[in-house]
Structure 1
């Protein structure tokens, strides 16, 4: 696990520390760009993903095919509680739901589809295959930096980013993400948690508006994955489209080092600050 340069600041060892089953203390590494008291949505979504993965694994379901987060309120940097429920589990797939709470309030609701993994031999020639690769490999991509990096310890310290195509915060672009610190202290993050930490950044890296003058916050995130990701690096090839009534949509094609793995979408509320 690599670590971020601290610029003279004390940086926590992990995004969260487990205090009891389903309860977690948040660190400053989760801080987002919109309000210094609120988390970037990537880390808490990944935290809930971790809990859903554990519930699904108990039923022999190893692939997280879809994760949807409905973000009801800003996530405070504090104590969080995660509760997971199996809504229906069949032979090959299971539907799960989860709640994220803080300070006695429900902060976010989640649904997920987990599938049983089964080896499948595919024909050598399929339309649209082999699946596309990211524009550039992470080792061939230069470092990239969030415009809010360095102001406070936060998400920009939590992840390492490299530019595969375009320019961050200037429209369509592709960026590799790698976690610099554990999600939960004392354990390696899961492959799906690595995707979740990055996927919520699509609206940021492909922003077409100045974040100091406008808010373009997402109230949801849906990630669909066709297979289990591999490796530490996840690439988002993202673009933002804005409507004339304060709405918007950010879409990201997701890649690992082996190629295309799925898509992420975010519904945006666009306002002047």
Structure 2
């Protein structure tokens, strides 16, 4: 690919709800399929827009049910408002490629209200990431450099551990916009990174095994801040082909939430 043809964003907005994917979304499992992080973030963006219409500005939970691999191509996002109350709203969404649902989502959005917390709360102040981004050395995914893809979309720095070698903490920052011409929201930054928990904390050789997640749930206790998001992730595997990846999520101010992924583990 020539420099002039290099993609500059993960997606380009077409008509309302329609988007064209770039190769920056490519994942490590199949060259024709996206990493799940960018399309989850794309739906997060649409949910944010729907929630803001009701004055709900905090995305407290986003759950993605990944039905099929997401192809690199044209995508359609549809958001439904299921219920909106005074302080919270429930939303659902479909992500479609052609006439097929490739993922379905539910989300909880909340109204943000300033609150003064009591002094000396148990468990507070909340913990910080193992290292700050500027203290963490640059690191690359094992699949980086083979083809333009997710490893080019994000910059990564290692806060603890080692990529694909057990428990691991990694800072993520977008190198390119999620949608052409837009500044990604903090929630979109979290969503792009959070689906990588099973990858950064992998304990199996990805060239010999598949350990793909069929879902992702992100719970956030407050609005994230800044460009950097840290995943402190670990993977646990069962003996029946199942597994769980869990990530503690941090921004530069400290702990902000958790992400979990259900894994299907198979030999290649």
What's the TM-score, normalizing by structure 2? 0.99
CA distance in 1, matches of 2:230, 2:107: 22
Match of 2:184 among 184, 189, 211: 189
1:11 positional shift: 2.8
> Corresponding residue for 2:109?
114
CA distance in 2, matches of 1:182, 1:271: 34
Where do 1:243-262 residues align within 5 Å?
Answer: 243-262=238-257
Number of residue-to-residue matches in the alignment = 268
Gaps of 5+ in 1: 1-5
Match of 2:124 among 122, 129, 137: 129
Q: Is the 8 A contact 1:7 1:150 kept in 2?
A: no
Residues 8, 210 of structure 1: alpha-carbon distance in 2 compared, 3 angstrom cutoff:
farther
1:124 positional shift: 1.5
Q: Is the 8 A contact 1:98 1:110 kept in 2?
A: yes
Where do 1:78-89 residues align within 5 Å?
Answer: 78-89=73-84
CA distance in 2, matches of 1:208, 1:137: 25
> Corresponding residue for 2:193?
198
> Corresponding residue for 1:104?
99
Residues 9, 254 of structure 1: alpha-carbon distance in 2 compared, 3 angstrom cutoff:
farther
> Corresponding residue for 2:209?
214
Q: Which string of whole-angstrom CA distances, capped at 9 and with x for unpartnered residues, describes residues 45-74 of structure 1?
A: 000000000000000000000000000000
What root-mean-square deviation, in Å, do the aligned CA atoms of Structure 1 and Structure 2 show?
A: 1.2
CA distance in 2, matches of 1:225, 1:11: 34
Q: Which string of whole-angstrom CA distances, capped at 9 and with x for unpartnered residues, describes residues 227-270 of structure 1?
A: 00000000000000000000000000000000000000000000
